[in-house]
Structure 1
């Protein structure tokens, strides 16, 4: 019952391939003062009716109020004792005691859930403390005021007033406690940049007074760094919180919150096993304390982990178990449950059910998630939903707002995953320029999140923490070993001698008995295996020959079919007078011939997987020279290495060369102008290759706009370059120069260079 501060833990949950965020609210109690109730009662019984007795009664009431657990009898005892203390203070005109009793009334009402009376009593305590100039009571009353419903600005104002008053009285511990509370308040409202300096100031103040129980501050510092996407720093503080809690023997619900947050950081770092381990430890503590909100919070985290592992049905089962065994009427908690169900059904492609939960969430949070906090979480989920049901106007509105909020929080992980789905949306709508831009942003940000120095920091933190735990375990084991060593020493020799004799005798008997049987059985098994291997080898040889024949036949058929299509196009062109149509047919014939050459080479070669591109380019250019009759006008220069590519790369590369050469023949040398076209295919390091197609023609027109390149040939070359994961570059340089850089799929040593001039 000592939960007098509210700590909202922001959990960014990533489910399957979609980014989903959920915010879970926890209550964490203040540190319980070590008061002995029996001693207090004894002192009260022997005290006269004076201010000392009043002080003892107030301490006893405070003990019952802050006693661990949620028991009605404790609150009733707190109220009864406080009423007695209040009456005594009034008779004695003990102003400080009466003010404290008024504030205790407020806190008791709040713990009972009667916020109306609690707020009234708190305001009464503020007025009383001001009237009688009780500065410390005034500070405590303002701190209590910040616990009730009000705007963020108003709550922060109450906290700041309390901090200034505690500073004035020199109450450093309470000043640090309220700095922590103010930082927590900003953290709850997704403002980590304001929260972090306040929490660090609180930490420094606590350390200056040698305060030991720093786990709560460390836990909040971990939380704000999680909000900022600074996971190495978040992990550092989370592990410090765990280490400190263990050192001070904290087994309260705060330890459950700490374990929950350590698991959460590991969850973001994609270390699912570590996240699962910590969440189960947190759940065990929550169940021990019988705290429904904590159990549901951690259960929902485990549910999100199941969703990430593509175990949506198990996640649904877990939610139903929580509904049955840990029911709640808290609206925020119910909305978190709706949020999980929304994302589960969305991932299961059950859009009709997902839409039901979407409407509930939109009604509660708003379509732009600008009410009740949780903006980043809701927006990420809404963006994935709009993309899935192809409502792109809603998607772009949502994703732009999400990016702005994530950028403000400095969370590159959220931004990178947002850019990935943005890229997919652009691609599905054919907006390839924007798609490329967003994909590059995704790669840039995602690479910065976990690589380099951050990964080293994370590994270092984990190693340091695990080493400390292992050292403690070793010390404990050594102590236990010393205690047991004397007890087992006398029995060890006799036991081992008996075991050795039994083992030797048993081994001799078994060895003699099994030797013959083992040898016979082994020979039989070897003969059976030899026969099976021989049969399998014959079968494999036969299947290999059949597959090679079948593959050659397929390539042959494909080549013949492409030739038939070329013939049909020739026939069709005889009946056309339209120049554009004839040109389109001619271009199609060249493209089909470029593909046909691939399959012709494959069925004629012993290598059915790869094609020699130097031969292929030579044949392709020869065919184009014949088709366009360029012998007198254009000189072709080939500088190609023996590069072996598979069909998946050879076909796109052949089509790119076909398009580039066709364009050069048609447009680079107008009228009777003569010139040269140079084709270079070379290795530029490891498995990276470069294709250059250059001419000394007229180059690009002066008004050519690269962004608006919308011709079929140009789009085809760019699209084919993307297909082989290459980089397409084009510029005018004493003519037109195309450069395509790509990486070969298979591992083969490059052959010697082969230069030829046609």
Structure 2
């Protein structure tokens, strides 16, 4: 097509402006980034200059759409003005198809102006006007709306629908964009391996298509992000460099800002803070040229991260505070807003402002609830504990301490009443800074080790208090079924308390020796059922240490299975034996819990409330594991977990 236009230019002395060709008074036009990408950054100005001479309705609407849609990469307000003109002309021409197309572009622009509600309304309206074969771009932008709101599950669903439409109609651009969006969503969920896989699939389709466009540029940036998350920083750099070349060639200010933000993170990871700050300021420059508050917020976030990593905490707080003020309370993207508060909390912590750090982490946790993130819970618990430990003696009266304990009891009572299964896992991480003198470093390490043991001791004591309260409450309940539920809840709390007891009593503050833990846990549960005289426990395994993130869920699984054996495997008070073993083989853990009791049938209905069975299934899934049941001799349950999967 491009060679044809050049030939026409030579033979007929035509006027050529980018992809707009005037020949004998008639305008011929090649759609940008569909039929051609052979133009420079001034292509929008060329279309705008040619538009007044175009009278044919269909051609005018196509040019207005291209002009308005691609102007959103540079000037959102102008882009919206052009699309509104196109929408008005489409309605005057009574073209429902072009009205729907213009609304898709209008929704995309409103989305980038952070007007999420209006964007969704416009896109839903357009859905009724377009044939199914053209709805993939609409669904893509609906996915972006959900992503900005923090509903990554819904965004993933819409990306999948886009992929299915692309496959159905053979539209490679739709498939490439769907893979690109899925790659970005996996990156946001902290799954860069899957993100890289889909990013490379998307790039392959874009290269087959042979057109460099806005979404090809964005996918280069997303693929680089996933490589950074995998620690493959040197491999990520060429993707960002190609993205920047493409963005500058076509004037994609939003992608340039995005890519410079990613480059900032890359240079920070490489320890090159000078180039990191330069990239952050370039990101902010293009964001301000675009007048896009979303990109300004993220650019300021990247500059705040640079200063925080350099140890310039007050500078970091200034940038991050400015980012939050720019976002305002109506900022739609909870994912990036949560990142700002996380960075701000760490900057406050570095500056020694523990109270402000706690408040920032609390806000981060609230924003991050839509995607489960144990780190937020752990950090909030850590900072709360740190504040309690560092306060001067005598400031908090006995009455305030009693009130605090009462509040904790009320919180846990509410959680158990609502049958919530997630607890806050208290974990304190000691950050060791390099100091000039080794003696000072050793002294700090000893102080922090003592503090960490004290925290685990306090957590264990609090859990024992909760366990005792549950025991007192159980004694007042006459209903046997409710008593069983309370006893099981008490055992679950006790199993977590034993973890923290082992941590502060042992030499290794980061890991639990599981053989001794299983023995103590099993003895406690058997004793709680008054079955010590008739049920024996065997723990057949070598000493094995696990980190807390795996030890707690595995302990809860074993707790549930021992409880089930005691309740159902030995009817009529018969004697029996329970066997536990845990082995590690390369990158897998193998857990076995068996009894020689009556046996459980695979198809039998669940006995009791079924809560224990649901809890075991949930914890197994959390550990990325699988469970196998065998009933040949009593009941044997086998579990296989990946050791590189954090709980």
User: What does residue 47 of structure 2 align with?
Assistant: 78
User: What does residue 556 of structure 2 align with?
Assistant: none
Instruction: Using the TM superposition, give the Cα deviation of residue 240 of structure 1 relative to its aligned residue in structure 2, in angstroms.
Output: 0.6
Instruction: Using the TM superposition, give the Cα deviation of residue 60 of structure 1 relative to its aligned residue in structure 2, in angstroms.
Output: 5.7
Counterpart contact for 1:62–1:78, Cα < 8 Å: no
Task: Find the aligned partners of 1:319 and 1:340 in 2 and give their Cα distance.
Answer: 6
Instruction: Using the TM superposition, give the Cα deviation of residue 237 of structure 1 relative to its aligned residue in structure 2, in angstroms.
Output: 1.4
Counterpart contact for 2:218–2:243, Cα < 8 Å: yes
Task: Find the aligned partners of 2:251 and 2:74 in 1 and give their Cα distance.
Answer: 17
Task: Find the aligned partners of 1:190 and 1:338 in 2 and give their Cα distance.
Answer: 20
User: What does residue 388 of structure 1 align with?
Assistant: 350
What secondary structure is seen at the aligned counterpart in 1 of 2:224? helix
Task: Find the aligned partners of 2:267 and 2:176 in 1 and give their Cα distance.
Answer: 29
Task: Find the aligned partners of 2:501 and 2:59 in 1 and give their Cα distance.
Answer: 85
User: Are residues 191 and 347 of structure 1, via their aligned partners in 2, closer, same or farther at CA, if it must alter by over 3 Å?
Assistant: same
User: What does residue 363 of structure 1 align with?
Assistant: 325
- Count how many residue pairs are aligned between Structure 1 and Structure 2: 422
Q: Say yes or no: does 1:301 pair with 2:262.
A: yes
Task: Find the aligned partners of 2:31 and 2:137 in 1 and give their Cα distance.
Answer: 21
Instruction: Using the TM superposition, give the Cα deviation of residue 155 of structure 1 relative to its aligned residue in structure 2, in angstroms.
Output: 1.1
User: What does residue 179 of structure 1 align with?
Assistant: 139
Q: How does 1:106-185 map to 2 (within 5 A)?
A: 113=75, 115=77, 119-120=80-81, 122-149=83-110, 151-167=115-131, 172=133, 174-185=134-145
Task: Find the aligned partners of 1:319 and 1:102 in 2 and give their Cα distance.
Answer: 34
Q: Say yes or no: does 1:264 pair with 2:253.
A: no
| Alignment counterpart, residue 194 of structure 1, candidates 150, 154, 167 | 154
Counterpart contact for 1:145–1:155, Cα < 8 Å: yes
User: Are residues 113 and 367 of structure 1, via their aligned partners in 2, closer, same or farther at CA, if it must alter by over 3 Å?
Assistant: closer
Counterpart contact for 1:179–1:202, Cα < 8 Å: yes
Counterpart contact for 2:143–2:159, Cα < 8 Å: yes
User: What does residue 37 of structure 1 align with?
Assistant: 5
Partner deviation per Cα, 1:341-360 (whole Å, 9 max, x = no partner): 32232233333323332332
User: What does residue 338 of structure 1 align with?
Assistant: 300
Task: Find the aligned partners of 1:128 and 1:393 in 2 and give their Cα distance.
Answer: 57
User: Are residues 44 and 438 of structure 1, via their aligned partners in 2, closer, same or farther at CA, if it must alter by over 3 Å?
Assistant: farther
RMSD: 5.3
Task: Find the aligned partners of 2:34 and 2:26 in 1 and give their Cα distance.
Answer: 13
Task: Find the aligned partners of 1:158 and 1:228 in 2 and give their Cα distance.
Answer: 28
Task: Find the aligned partners of 2:198 and 2:185 in 1 and give their Cα distance.
Answer: 10
User: What does residue 422 of structure 1 align with?
Assistant: 380
Q: Say yes or no: does 1:247 pair with 2:208.
A: yes
Larger Rg: 1
Partner deviation per Cα, 1:542-600 (whole Å, 9 max, x = no partner): xxxxxxxxxxxxxxxxxxxxxxxxxxxxxxxxxxxxxxxxxxxxxxxxxxxxxxxxxxx
Q: Say yes or no: does 1:203 pair with 2:173.
A: no
Q: Say yes or no: does 1:375 pair with 2:337.
A: yes
Task: Find the aligned partners of 1:251 and 1:381 in 2 and give their Cα distance.
Answer: 35
Counterpart contact for 2:104–2:122, Cα < 8 Å: yes
Q: How does 1:63-74 map to 2 (within 5 A)?
A: 69-72=39-42, 74=43
Partner deviation per Cα, 1:395-438 (whole Å, 9 max, x = no partner): 3443344334334135xxxx24434533542453357999x975
Task: Find the aligned partners of 1:325 and 1:128 in 2 and give their Cα distance.
Answer: 32
For structure 1, which segment, 389-398 or 299-308, has the greater mean C-alpha deviation from structure 2 after superposition?
389-398
Counterpart contact for 2:151–2:370, Cα < 8 Å: no
Q: Say yes or no: does 1:59 pair with 2:29.
A: yes
User: Are residues 438 and 283 of structure 1, via their aligned partners in 2, closer, same or farther at CA, if it must alter by over 3 Å?
Assistant: farther
Task: Find the aligned partners of 1:401 and 1:325 in 2 and give their Cα distance.
Answer: 29
Partner deviation per Cα, 1:47-68 (whole Å, 9 max, x = no partner): xxxxx99996263697999855
Task: Find the aligned partners of 2:502 and 2:58 in 1 and give their Cα distance.
Answer: 85
Counterpart contact for 1:219–1:261, Cα < 8 Å: yes
Partner deviation per Cα, 1:98-120 (whole Å, 9 max, x = no partner): 6667667766987884835x645
Counterpart contact for 2:68–2:82, Cα < 8 Å: yes
Q: How does 1:674-693 map to 2 (within 5 A)?
A: none
Counterpart contact for 1:44–1:57, Cα < 8 Å: no
Counterpart contact for 1:192–1:225, Cα < 8 Å: no
Instruction: Using the TM superposition, give the Cα deviation of residue 36 of structure 1 relative to its aligned residue in structure 2, in angstroms.
Output: 4.6
Counterpart contact for 1:307–1:344, Cα < 8 Å: yes
Which protein, 1 or 2, shows the higher relative CO under an 8 Å CA cutoff with sep ≥ 6? Answer: 1
User: Are residues 393 and 240 of structure 1, via their aligned partners in 2, closer, same or farther at CA, if it must alter by over 3 Å?
Assistant: same
Task: Find the aligned partners of 1:132 and 1:325 in 2 and give their Cα distance.
Answer: 37
Task: Find the aligned partners of 2:73 and 2:275 in 1 and give their Cα distance.
Answer: 36
User: What does residue 624 of structure 1 align with?
Assistant: none
Counterpart contact for 2:381–2:426, Cα < 8 Å: no
Partner deviation per Cα, 1:256-305 (whole Å, 9 max, x = no partner): 43222112112223333433454345445556667665455434323312
Instruction: Using the TM superposition, give the Cα deviation of residue 241 of structure 1 relative to its aligned residue in structure 2, in angstroms.
Output: 0.8
Q: How does 1:529-678 map to 2 (within 5 A)?
A: none
Partner deviation per Cα, 1:45-88 (whole Å, 9 max, x = no partner): 8xxxxxx999962636979998555544x4454345432222xx
Partner deviation per Cα, 1:615-642 (whole Å, 9 max, x = no partner): xxxxxxxxxxxxxxxxxxxxxxxxxxxx
Counterpart contact for 1:238–1:262, Cα < 8 Å: yes
What secondary structure is seen at the aligned counterpart in 2 of 1:166? coil
User: Are residues 365 and 309 of structure 1, via their aligned partners in 2, closer, same or farther at CA, if it must alter by over 3 Å?
Assistant: same
User: What does residue 749 of structure 1 align with?
Assistant: none
Instruction: Using the TM superposition, give the Cα deviation of residue 252 of structure 1 relative to its aligned residue in structure 2, in angstroms.
Output: 4.6
Counterpart contact for 2:51–2:60, Cα < 8 Å: no
Instruction: Using the TM superposition, give the Cα deviation of residue 142 of structure 1 relative to its aligned residue in structure 2, in angstroms.
Output: 1.6
User: Are residues 211 and 427 of structure 1, via their aligned partners in 2, closer, same or farther at CA, if it must alter by over 3 Å?
Assistant: same
Counterpart contact for 2:142–2:158, Cα < 8 Å: yes
Instruction: Using the TM superposition, give the Cα deviation of residue 250 of structure 1 relative to its aligned residue in structure 2, in angstroms.
Output: 4.2
What secondary structure is seen at the aligned counterpart in 1 of 2:128? helix
Task: Find the aligned partners of 1:374 and 1:82 in 2 and give their Cα distance.
Answer: 39
What secondary structure is seen at the aligned counterpart in 2 of 1:57? strand
User: What does residue 199 of structure 2 align with?
Assistant: 238
TM-score by length of structure 2 reads 0.52
Task: Find the aligned partners of 1:324 and 1:123 in 2 and give their Cα distance.
Answer: 27
Counterpart contact for 1:376–1:402, Cα < 8 Å: yes
User: What does residue 347 of structure 1 align with?
Assistant: 309
User: Are residues 55 and 263 of structure 1, via their aligned partners in 2, closer, same or farther at CA, if it must alter by over 3 Å?
Assistant: farther
Task: Find the aligned partners of 1:34 and 1:119 in 2 and give their Cα distance.
Answer: 30
Task: Find the aligned partners of 1:321 and 1:98 in 2 and give their Cα distance.
Answer: 36
